[in-house]
Structure 1
Amino acid sequence: MEYLKSERKQILYSILLGLIGGLVGIALFGLSGYMISLSFFDPPFFVIILIIAVIKLFGMMKGAFRYVERLLSHEATFKLIGRLRLNYFKSTIGSVQDTHSVKFIQKLNQYFEQVENYYIRIIYPYIVAVLISILIMVLAAYVSLGVAAMTAIVAFILLYGIPKVFENRMSKTLEFRDQTDDVLYSKLYHYIHDYTNLFVTGRLDSEGEKLVPGIQSIRKNENKMVLNESLMQLLGQIAQLSAIVLIIVMLYAETPLWVPMIMLIALSYFDLIMPVMNPASQYKTVKAAVSELELEIVDKGIPVESDKISVIEVDDLNFRYPNASLDVLRDISLSIKEGEKHAVIGSSGSGKTTLINQIIDHNPAVTLYDKSGQIISDGTDARVSVMPQQLDFYNASVMDNITMFGHIERDRSAIESDLKLLEMSYYKPDTMIEFTGRLSGGEQKRLQFIRMLAEDKSWWIMDEPTARLDDRLKQKMWDYILSKPTVIVSTHDLSRLDSFDYIHYMEQGRIIESGTYGDLMQRHGQVHQAVQRFKDFL
């Protein structure tokens, strides 16, 4: 990764402003100390007034420099983090990782938070602290070589020695925290997922008690982190106190009037470098986080036309989430041929979304065949357009989101036409989606739909494509969906059910009815009842 690739100017200005602001702050304290020493000689009143005015001026200057410094450094940091996020998301397109996993997202946010804090609290503050330390050493040499040497030793201890001593301790503590979080997350996830089953079987309290050791371990680890930080601060305070005592001892005999000024300068200097110690001690952890985010961007390519899917076979699919006690899919078998439209319906929690996800994720029980009858080995998502329940959008432009950063070919005019078609003309191709919360659920569905139009693949697999849309948009979406040659749709919207070739009704993880619309309606089974309930609801 090229650090500070396009933010060098802001970082340079931040360092310069931080250096000037730090020196002004030190000068402010130095003048205060000088005024204390000067008062011993009963100076003229106007001199006191002048010094006070200069101190006030320095205070205003310090505030102004600090404000602009923080503004520039934060701007540079957030640009850097934004670029790092963008590169990472580009690299995860087509990744085998479950990027929808809550744990994956939580860990990813932790990594970005660590990197973000590191650059805000280390890169420019640390450089500023080192530069100010060098200048203080040079100034101290005019007072005494002994004071200069002492300043160098204290700066080394605070900026390098103490952080280095705690670096391994902090790294191991943070690593242990991640491991403990992973274990507890897995147990907690399945406790929540199996809550109803545990309640019915009377095991709710006993399983809940198994979570207590993990919670206690996390609390103990957090206390250890606080202890390490407190020990660092304690050592820093001891070094600071020792330096002040040495200043008094070294100067009091020969130049006692300098003691107040140099003591206040020292206190101001320590105030600048003490906050740098803790983030500096976490260098190894942040470096590891950066390495996790620096994935190689791999272009998997577009399958050639001869590799198009001809048939998707689902054979005796059983599925349960890791460490869960119950299967969420049981004995699922179905065959989807090219040119057919299949609808999967059923009540909430019946397993529709899980079935769609297993087809998309190419579960071992799901087999793809090409036109010659040969098995296709790579993933389903490489050859079909999908609309899963959890949709991916990034902090980037609308065009970047639709074309997946250029992985999909679509020109601006076509995107503008698609946006107008789906009543989103208030968005332009260059409109930035600055945070995903800006998009409503319906907007996410429509943008994903535009992305699928851009992919222009013959197979579409969709989970609740018309959810959160008004009736007009629903019908418009259905018209386009049903115009595709091959469709697999999970839906609660039964308004166009008669347009599908085959319908599969799911309940408690099983397909309990399958067939054509006409046959199923004649049976007066579950599909017939669902259609009647839907009509009554309307």
Structure 2
Amino acid sequence: MKELAVLSKAMMQERKDILLSILCGFIAGTAGVALFSASGYLISQTVFAPPLYTLIVLTSMVKLLGFVRAASRYGERLASHRATFSILSRLRTSFFAKLIPVTPGILNKNRSGDLLARIVGDVESLQHYFLRVAYPPIMVVMVFLSTVLFTAVFSFWIACLLIVGMLITAFVVPNLVLIGQRKINEHVRQQRAKLSTEVTEVLYGFRDLKVYGQLAERERQLQQDSAELATQQQRAATQLVLGQSMHVFVTYLVTWGVLVISAFLIADGVFAGVYLAMLILATQTMFEESAAMAVLPAYKLDSENAAKRLAETVPDQQNKGYDDQSHSSSKTHLSLEVDAEGEAVTIELSHVSFQYEGEWRSALNDVSLYLAPGSKTAIVGASGSGKSTILDLLLKLRTPAAGKIKFNAISVNEWNETNIWQNTRAVLQQSHFFRGTIRDNLLLSGESHSDEYVQDILHQVQLFNTSLDDSVYEKGENLSDGEKQRLALARAMLRKGRLWLLDEPTSSLDYVTEARVLQNLLTQAVEDTLLLVCHRLTGLERMDQIVVMDQGQIVETGSFEELMERKGYFYEMKKIELQMIGEQGA
């Protein structure tokens, strides 16, 4: 499958451990066959009371083979598991590297529970590919062939029987299991994803479900989904047991065949009966190496389905543009930090268009905008006019369908996206808060600030009664929307960077608090480039330019005074806002 290309590449990068594990596995397998063959021969020889030195040699050989088998098996486990964990690490890194740039689009298309199942479960499933899918056939072929060559010395017909048994256990049994497992495995994966999705929904919406009296119904649905998953898993397990049972049946069938053929050969005087126990034990030991082939189809299907689901999460056509950009930016490593002359960041959008997947209309249509270094720009407009999309494009969270975006006269494709994020003070509409303390959530980037300075920043965002040691629940459940916004602003104010990208940072604050917070914010960013997306029109008098958007296009641009004098779109918006404020005051 082409989806397994990344996995194959990761395996090639760990080829030293893989080759070492194959070598140790071959030694362990052949040593095991030799060990039990020698043991069988030793048992048979004792019946004839051989000389003492013969027993000493045979006993020593058995002990030596035991040590070799144990040591090589340990080396095989060590190398194969080290390779597996390294491969898994590379897979996680590769998947997350592709996932981060397209996360906004993925979250819009996938339910969070299903996405979590893919990120955790599907990536974990791929760890079995080498140990359970790629490795067993190699060992079966190598150990079987060496054993067949060994038995051929004694009997051509026994060697032919072992070859037939190898073909049955290596191909026939796995394919029989595969026929029944393919459909069952897909049902198990779909049901597991469905259960994960429903559990996540219940956890996120627990309070609303309880308030509206739907919690019991959702619990019943969860129990039903859980029971269905258990049923599907039981069917899958039954299919695996069936495969293992068929393998055991073939093993004993071939063993009986070896016994029967050997009996005829001994009766005809072709070879001595002292070799009978040796051949029987060699046959049974050889088939132990092929036991993993019985469950190989399950792991193969699991790995293929996992790889397919991960490929669907970050399809090539969705992140192709990003990959090209990443390749370019990995070479340049341009920085957004202050240059030698102390200039802030310049931003230029030229005929930029963007359309969300599945949408019938464009979010942005031929947008051109210029932000001079150190300028203060506000973007206003109705919901859905494309304001937030511009910020996503500037942060390289999305890729424009057409047009060019430049930082400091250099295309955004040349900039390292990690550097953009690290050197931009961004506040998005939804800011995440982690379980911990206020201090932990403010200093996410590992900045080194004294408690006094951090407390001063909290005062600037009008959080006077907040302590740095105050607890924060998961997702900030114990914080109001206004507190979340002010903490997000404080987090941005504590970072470095000469570019501010703020998306509705004060929409949940009252007018008085908002005015004070914006005043302190503009004071700190007086020499920086600032882009503010907002619905409210108060406090925009200090902006160098105001961009008015409607239906993905810029309809007006100018300073506050210029737009008010034109009495156009912005003027009407401002008049409506003043009327609303007056009604609220009355």
Output the TM-score relative to the length of structure 2: 0.58
Q: 2:320 aligned with 1:298, yes or no?
A: yes
Instruction: Report the CA distance shift for 1:15/1:182 in structure 2 as closer, same or farther (over 3 A).
Output: closer
Once the two structures are TM-superposed, the CA of residue 501 in structure 1 deviates from its matched residue by: 5.4
1:55 maps to 2:62: yes
**One-letter amino acid matched to 2:502:** V
CA shift for structure 1 position 513:
10
- Tell me how many residue pairs correspond in the alignment: 409
Question: Which of residues 11, 25, 37 is equivalent to 1:18?
Answer: 25
Q: For 1:378-397, what per-residue CA distance to the aligned partner results, in whole angstroms no more than 9, with x for missing partners?
A: 664222489xxxxxxxxxxx
Alignment of 1:152-163 (within 5 A): 152-163=163-174
Cα contact 2:181–2:236 (8 A) shared by 1? yes
For 2:306, the equivalent position in structure 1 comes to 289
Gaps of 5+ in 2: 267-271, 326-345, 353-370, 398-411, 424-438, 449-462, 471-487, 522-533, 541-580
Shift of the alpha carbon at 1:21?
1.5
Whether 1:339 and 2:361 are equivalent positions in the alignment is no
**Cα distance change of structure 1 residues 158 and 379 upon mapping to structure 2, 3 Å threshold:** farther
Q: 1:446 to 1:46 in 2, by over 3 A?
A: same
**Is 1:196 aligned to residue 207 of structure 2?**
yes
What is the match of residue 384 of structure 2? 366
The alpha-carbon deviation at position 174 of structure 1 amounts to: 1.4
Other structure's SS at 1:305 match: strand
Match for 2:120 among 72, 86, 109?
A: 109
CA contact (8 A) 1:163 1:280 kept: yes
2:528 is matched with: none
The code of the aligned residue for 2:22 comes to I
Report how far residue 77 of structure 1 moved: 2.7
Determine if the alignment matches structure 1 residue 222 to structure 2 residue 233: yes
- Output the CA distance in 1 between the equivalents of 2:80 and 2:415: 31
**Counterparts of 1:203 and 1:158, CA distance in 2:** 52
CA distance in 2, matches of 1:229, 1:94: 40
For 1:84 and 1:404, the matched residues in 2 are separated by 25
Change (3 A) 1:103 1:76: same
Structure 2 residue corresponding to 1:89, chosen from 70, 93, 96: 96
CA contact (8 A) 1:141 1:147 kept: yes
> 1:128 maps to which residue?
139
How many angstroms apart in 2 are the aligned matches of 1:443 and 1:43? 82
Counterpart in 2 of 1:445?
444
Are 2:499 and 1:499 aligned? Answer: no
1:244-255 to 2 correspondences below 5 Å: 244-253=255-264, 254=266, 255=272
Matching residue within 188, 191, 200 for 1:177: 188
Residues 16 and 140 (structure 1 numbering): CA distance in 2 closer, same or farther, change over 3 Å? same
Kept in 2: contact 1:341–1:501 (CA 8 A)? no
Quote the residue 1:38 is aligned against. 45
Q: Contact between 1:32 and 1:55, CA under 8 Å: does it hold in 2?
A: yes
Q: Distance in 2 between the 1:404 and 1:62 partners?
A: 56
Tell me the distance in 1 between the aligned counterparts of 2:413 and 2:243: 46
Q: Give 1:236 deviation, angstroms.
A: 0.8
In 2, Cα distance between equivalents of 1:189 and 1:256: 67
CA positional deviation for 1:196:
2.7
Aligned residues: CA RMSD: 4.9
> Which of 121, 129, 137 is the equivalent residue of 1:118?
129
Q: Is the 8 A contact 1:14 1:72 kept in 2?
A: yes
**Alignment of 1:266 onto 2:283:** yes
* From 486, 493, 500, the counterpart of 1:478: 493
The answer as to whether partners of 2:128 and 2:299 remain within 8 angstroms in 1 is no
Structure-2 separation of matches of 1:203 and 1:85: 37
When residues 272 and 444 of structure 1 are mapped into structure 2, their CA distance, relative to the original with a 3 A threshold, is: farther
Counterpart contact for 2:113–2:193, Cα < 8 Å: no
Alpha-carbon distance, 1:341 to partner: 8.5
TM-superposed CA distance for 1:228, in Å, is 0.5
Q: Does 1:66 align with 2:70?
A: no
Gapped regions of structure 1 (runs ≥ 5): 310-336, 343-358, 370-375, 387-402, 419-439, 450-463, 504-510, 518-522, 527-538
Deviation at 1:496, TM superposition (A): 10
- Give the whole-Å Cα distance in 2 for the aligned partners of 1:206 and 1:268: 55
Structure 1 residues 116 and 33, CA, compared in 2 at 3 Å: closer, same or farther?
A: same
Residues 409 and 218 of structure 1: CA distance in aligned 2, closer, same or farther (over 3 Å): closer
Deviation of the 1:205 alpha carbon: 2.6
Aligned 8 A contact 2:113 2:199 in 1 = no
Rg (Cα) greater in structure: 2
Distance (Å, rounded) in 1 between the aligned partners of 2:56 and 2:509: 80
Distance 1:120 1:493 in 2: 56
Q: Quick one: distance in 2 between partners of 1:89 and 1:117?
A: 20
Moved more, 70-79 or 10-19: 70-79
